Amino acid sequence: MLSPQQYGKFMLLAAIGFLFIWMGISGRVGSLFGAILTPGFMVEGTPPGPGGTSSSGNNSNNQNKGNGVTPPGANQLNMTQIASFAYTAGLTAQNTLAMAIAICMAESGGKTQNVNGQAIGLWQILLSAHPEYTRAQMLDPAQNAAAMAKISSNGTNWCAWQSFSGSGCTTGIAYNNSYAAFLPQANTAAQNYIATRLTLGTM
């Protein structure tokens, strides 16, 4: 018969053995200890820092349609929310507001934290072409919208974005006109947003 001490050791070993079987020895034990010791390095999908290539020349953005690296939990805005940031940045006319929404959807899919090389945020502002902005600033949707407004001359010149049609542009960019697929919905969103502001008296 086992003594109390031997019985205690037996039960402890049995419990440890059961724990190892339940967790699966291959990898999970290491992951558990790693998460306990260094939790900051165990977040799945943590994006790399800035790097990679972007569109050519001095253009502000590159094509990615929202397929860049997006950290877990990053905000994805709908068209009404995008309209709010663009309107606040100064694009108050319906046509320019609609263009801003459509370009945003084509560039980032409305993801505020979208990163594609040096192209950052909602309107994928290209840091190498615009060193006056920082990565942290462009991950902030309000500051990204303000940069978009400045680069696009308050929504009147979209030649810096590859998702534009290229109409009237002489930059040499291979435009893909991808914004056009979002423009009908963007027009509706812009019209509704402005109408709501009129109703609320916040124009």
The domain in which residue 170 lies consists of 79-200
| Confidence label for 17 from pLDDT (cuts 50, 70 and 90) | low
Non-local CB neighbours of 183 within 8 Å, separated by 6+ positions:
98, 99, 102
Q: Mean pLDDT, to the nearest integer, of 181-197?
A: 97
What is the pLDDT at residue 103? 98
Lowest mean per-residue pLDDT among 35-44, 117-126, 178-187: 35-44
What is the pLDDT at residue 67? 52
| Confidence label for 14 from pLDDT (cuts 50, 70 and 90) | low
| Confidence label for 201 from pLDDT (cuts 50, 70 and 90) | confident
Nearest to residue 177, comparing CAs of 164, 161, 160, 158? 164
Give percent of the chain with pLDDT exceeding 90. Answer: 60
- Length of the chain measured in residues: 203
Q: Which residue has the tokens 């079987």?
A: 21
Query: Is it the case that residue 11 has pLDDT exceeding 80?
Result: no
The secondary structure of 43-73 as a DSSP string is: -TTPPP-S-S---STT-S----TT-SB--TT
pLDDT per position as a tens digit, 97-108: 999 999 999 999
Q: Are residues 132 and 34 in the same domain?
A: no
Q: Considering the chain, what is the average pLDDT of its residues?
A: 76
Cβ atoms 100, 189 nearer than 8 A? no
**Domain tally for the chain?**
2
Q: Are residues 21 and 89 in the same domain?
A: no
The gap from C-alpha 148 to its chain's centroid, in whole angstroms, comes to 15
What is the pLDDT at residue 165? 95
The secondary structure of 118-168 as a DSSP string is: TEETTTTEETTT-TTS-HHHHTSHHHHHHHHHHHTTTTT--TT-TTS--TT
| In a domain? residue 190 | yes
- Higher pLDDT among residues 73 and 117, named by residue: 117
Q: Are residues 32 and 89 in the same domain?
A: no
Q: Are residues 18 and 102 in the same domain?
A: no
| In a domain? residue 62 | no
Q: Are residues 93 and 191 in the same domain?
A: yes
